[in-house]
Copies of this chain bind each other. A is one copy, B any other.
């Protein structure tokens, strides 16, 4: 008997009860094909997608918030870091105007200085207005004068030398390089990033755990299928491939849903923020939550996390499937 000849050819046809059935039509579409060997519904898919989505959402929120804090801090730092101020205080027996001009000249002579601007008396007064009240007679008040020194970007100039020169020539002037504020902002941004990374690690851990549980559950639920596959001669690679596919898709779906929700949320908040801008609540909200603008980096981070979620899901399930298969025969 050749391999293409049906094996029952040799059996004479018997009149059997089902013989008449054979004349019946095939299923309307012919035999059904290509059903997934591991049924989708059996892998607790929706609840796993929910977990992955939640985790991706959380990861997205965290990444967005961190990127907002970091970018706000660095904006502020670069604004402030590119300026130093010199304050010239009125002192007995000294000419405030002359002192101010002299200090400005010293600043102008320093390396890396882009621009020096001397605040007028009025401008200087306006700076202290909140504390002294307006409507003061300026001449009577010995208000300190401000000089704003804009620096060229790049390496910061040698503040120590400048400070020394100023101290020698204009004792009533003090240089403020905002070092304390910049350090503060840096520490703050660093803390935010650390907290963010902590939360991300937590989120990833929970994701891996959930996926591992779900995979194990799916393997257990599909134990009969795994067995039958082995019985008809499937190798472990074939079997695990059947599961793999589902979990990669599943993780990706969860990631897209969760990450997408995070992106949408940021978008909505940003839109709302633009909409209420100028209303009384807006600055309070801004004070509380920052400026709500998620830059390209934030969006990129969220996208990266979607991919990460899918990969983590696939990897966790692959490990679990392989470990389970080793124990099954």
The residues of A with any CB-CB pair to B shorter than 8 Å are 41, 44, 46-48, 50-51, 54-55, 58, 69, 87, 89, 92, 127-128, 131-133, 135-137, 140-144, 174, 183-184, 187-188, 191-192, 206, 209-210, 213-214, 217, 220-221, 280-281, 283-285, 287-288
Contacts and interface: CB of A to CB of B under 8 A. Distances in A.
Given A131-B127, A174-B133, A187-B280, A47 B89 contact: no
Contact of A58 (B44, B58, B280): B58
A285 B194 CA distance: 11
B47 A187 contact: no
Main secondary structure of the interface of A (DSSP, over half): helix
B41 A44 contact: no
B284 A188 contact: yes
Contact of A288 (B192, B209, B213, B285): B192
A191 B132 contact: no
12 contacts: A41-B220, A44-B213, A47-B51, A47-B214, A50-B210, A51-B51, A51-B54, A89-B133, A92-B137, A133-B174, A136-B142, A184-B284
Q: What is the oligomeric copy number?
A: 2
Contacts of A132: 89, 128, 143-144
A221 B218 CA distance: 11
A141 B141 contact: yes
A46 B191 contact: no
Most chain B CB within a 10 A radius of its CB, from A47, A50, A281: A47
Contacts of A287: 184, 188
Contacts of A50: 51, 206, 209-210, 213
A120 B142 CA distance: 20
Nearest to A88: B133
A61 to B, nearest CB: 10
B191 A285 contact: yes
Nearest to A195: B289
Given A47-B217, A141-B141, A188 B133 contact: no
A126 B190 CA distance: 34
Nearest to A199: B61
A284 B217 CA distance: 46
A287 B281 CA distance: 21
A48 B46 CA distance: 11
Given A141-B141, A174-B133, A44 B288 contact: no
Most chain B CB within a 10 A radius of its CB, from A50, A174, A220: A50
A206 B49 CA distance: 11
Given A54-B206, A89-B135, 13 more contacts: A46-B213, A46-B217, A47-B210, A47-B214, A50-B210, A50-B213, A89-B136, A128-B128, A133-B144, A133-B174, A188-B285, A191-B281, A221-B221
Contacts of A221: 221
B188 A51 contact: no
A48 B213 CA distance: 10
